[in-house]
C-alpha cells in the first residue's frame, strides 16, 4: 500500500471509530429517553384512571347522600325510623357500594392489557344502569321511557359500555335540572340491525347550545355547568369508537338532544 493510501485508510478507520462510539452514545441516549417516556405514559394512565374513578364515583356518592336525607330528617324530627324504609335504604346502599367497588375493578381492567369480556343482554344491562341512576332521576322527577324494539345479546367490554350509557344519561339529567325543564323526559330506545346494537338516548332539555356541536366530544370542554370536567363524552367517544369499532354521535332534535350509539354485537378491541 502506498503511504498516502495507508494514511487515508487510517484516517477513515479513526473516523469510523468515532462514528461508532457516537452511534453507541446516541443509542444509549435514545434508550434512556424511551424509558422516561414509558414512565411518563404509566403516570399519565394512572392519572387518567384516577380521574375516571373519581368521575364514576361522583354519581353514586350523590345517590348515597340523597338516600339517607329523608331518614335522617325523620330520625331527628320523630325520633323513630320506619324499619322497612331503613332496610330498603340499606339494600340500596349495598347495591351502590357494590357498584363503586366494581368500578375500581372495571377501571383496572380498562387500563390493563388483558381485558375481561362478558356475554350480556342489552336490556338487562340497561336495567342495571337505570337502577344505579334511579334515585337521582326520581329526586328530580325525571320521567324515563324505555322502548325495547329488539333486545340484542352482546359480547365484550360490558362495564365500559355501561359507563357510556351512564355518562350520556347523567348529562341529560344534569341539563334537564339545570334548565329547569317542565315535564322532564329521557327516552331510551334499544334496537338491533344486522350485526349491530343500537341505543338512542333522547331528552327534552332543549338541545346542545354551542356553535360546533361536535366540540362536546373534545376533552375538558364543558358548557353551562359549574362543576363539569368535560371528560364524560370524550371518554365515551374513545370507548365506543376506538375500543369497540362503533359509532357515537349527537344531533339536536326539536325538543332536545339525541345521542346515537351503534356498536357491533361483538364489542371487541381492535388494538
Ligand atoms: N343532553 C344534553 N343536552 C344538552 N347539552 C349537553 C347534553 N349532553 C352534553 N351536553 C353538553 O356537552 C358538554 C360536554 O359533556 P361531557 O359529559 O363531556 O362533560 P360535562 O358533563 O360538562 O363534565 P363531566 O361529564 O366530565 O362531569 C356538557 O358540558 C354540556 O354542555
Ligand atoms: Mg358529563
The pLDDT, as a whole number, for residue 130 is 83
Tell me: pLDDT of 99 over 80: yes
Domain boundary, last residue among 45, 79, 114: 114
The pLDDT, as a whole number, for residue 271 is 44
pLDDT band at 257 (very low <50, low <70, confident <90, very high): very high
The pLDDT, as a whole number, for residue 256 is 98
Q: How far, in Å, is the centroid of ligand 1 from the Cα of 90?
A: 31
For ligand 1, atom 4: residue with the closest CA? 208
User: Same domain, yes or no, for 95 and 226?
Assistant: no
Grid cell at residue 159: 362495564
pLDDT tens profile 172-184: 999 999 999 999 9
Average pLDDT, the chain: 86
**How far apart are the C-alpha atoms of 149 and 135, rounded to whole Å?**
26
259-262: long-range contacts (C-beta < 8 A, 24 or more apart)? 259/168, 259/200, 259/201, 259/202, 260/198, 260/199, 260/200, 261/164, 261/165, 261/168, 261/197, 261/198, 261/199, 261/200, 261/201, 262/196, 262/197, 262/198
User: Same domain, yes or no, for 162 and 191?
Assistant: yes
The pLDDT, as a whole number, for residue 249 is 98
Ligand 1 pocket test target in 50, 230, 237 with most atoms within 8 Å of CB: 230
Ligand 1 atom nearest to CA at 210:
31
* 171 CB within 6 A, ligand 1: yes
Which segment of 31-45, 113-127, 204-218 scores lowest on mean pLDDT?
31-45
Domain boundary, last residue among 114, 141, 169: 114
Instruction: Report the domain count for the chain.
Output: 2
**How far apart are the C-alpha atoms of 236 and 22, rounded to whole Å?**
47
pLDDT band at 224 (very low <50, low <70, confident <90, very high): very high
pLDDT tens profile 25-80: 998 887 787 667 656 655 655 665 676 677 778 888 888 988 889 888 888 888 88
The pLDDT, as a whole number, for residue 137 is 85
Tell me: pLDDT of 109 over 70: no
The pLDDT, as a whole number, for residue 55 is 73
Domain boundary, last residue among 82, 114, 146: 114
* 229 CB within 6 A, ligand 1: yes
Contact 228, 170 (CB under 8 A): no
User: Same domain, yes or no, for 97 and 122?
Assistant: no
* 228 CB within 6 A, ligand 1: yes
Q: How far, in Å, is the centroid of ligand 1 from the Cα of 126?
A: 20
User: Same domain, yes or no, for 126 and 72?
Assistant: no
CATH value at residue 211:
3.30.565.10
User: Same domain, yes or no, for 67 and 166?
Assistant: no
* 126 CB within 6 A, ligand 1: no
Contact 267, 156 (CB under 8 A): yes
Grid cell at residue 113: 392489557
The pLDDT, as a whole number, for residue 40 is 60
Domain limits at 255?
A: 117-271
Tell me: pLDDT of 12 over 60: yes
The pLDDT, as a whole number, for residue 184 is 98
Amino acid at each position: 500500500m502506498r503511504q498516502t493510501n495507508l494514511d487515508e485508510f487510517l484516517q477513515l478507520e479513526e473516523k469510523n471509530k468515532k462514528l461508532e462510539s457516537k452511534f453507541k452514545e446516541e443509542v444509549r441516549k435514545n434508550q434512556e429517553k424511551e424509558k422516561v417516556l414509558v414512565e411518563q405514559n404509566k403516570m399519565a394512565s394512572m392519572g387518567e384512571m384516577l380521574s375516571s374513578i373519581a368521575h364514576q364515583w361522583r354519581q353514586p356518592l350523590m345517590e348515597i347522600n340523597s338516600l339517607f336525607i329523608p331518614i335522617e330528617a325523620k330520625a331527628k324530627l320523630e325520633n323513630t325510623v320506619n324499619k322497612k324504609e331503613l332496610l330498603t335504604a340499606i339494600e340500596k346502599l349495598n347495591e351502590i357500594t357494590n357498584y363503586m367497588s366494581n368500578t375500581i375493578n372495571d377501571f383496572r381492567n380498562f387500563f390493563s392489557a388483558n381485558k375481561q369480556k362478558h356475554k350480556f343482554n342489552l336490556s338487562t344491562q340497561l336495567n342495571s344502569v337505570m337502577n344505579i341512576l334511579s334515585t337521582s332521576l326520581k329526586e328530580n322527577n325525571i320521567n324515563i321511557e324505555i322502548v325495547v324494539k329488539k333486545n340484542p345479546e352482546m359480547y365484550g367490554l360490558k362495564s365500559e359500555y355501561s359507563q357510556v350509557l351512564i355518562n350520556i344519561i347523567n348529562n341529560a339529567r344534569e341539563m334537564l335540572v339545570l334548565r329547569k325543564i317542565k315535564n322532564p323526559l329521557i327516552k331510551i330506545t334499544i334496537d338491533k340491525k344486522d350485526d349491530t346494537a343500537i341505543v338512542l338516548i333522547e331528552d327534552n332539555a332543549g338541545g346542545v347550545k354551542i356553535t360546533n356541536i361536535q366540540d362536546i366530544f373534545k376533552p375538558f370542554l364543558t358548557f353551562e355547568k359549574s362543576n363539569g370536567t368535560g371528560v364524560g363524552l370524550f371518554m365515551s367517544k374513545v370507548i365506543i369508537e376506538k375500543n369497540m369499532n362503533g359509532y357515537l354521535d349527537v344531533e339536536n332534535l326539536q325538543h332536545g338532544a339525541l345521542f346515537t350509539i351503534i356498536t357491533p354485537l361483538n364489542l371487541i378491541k381492535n388494538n
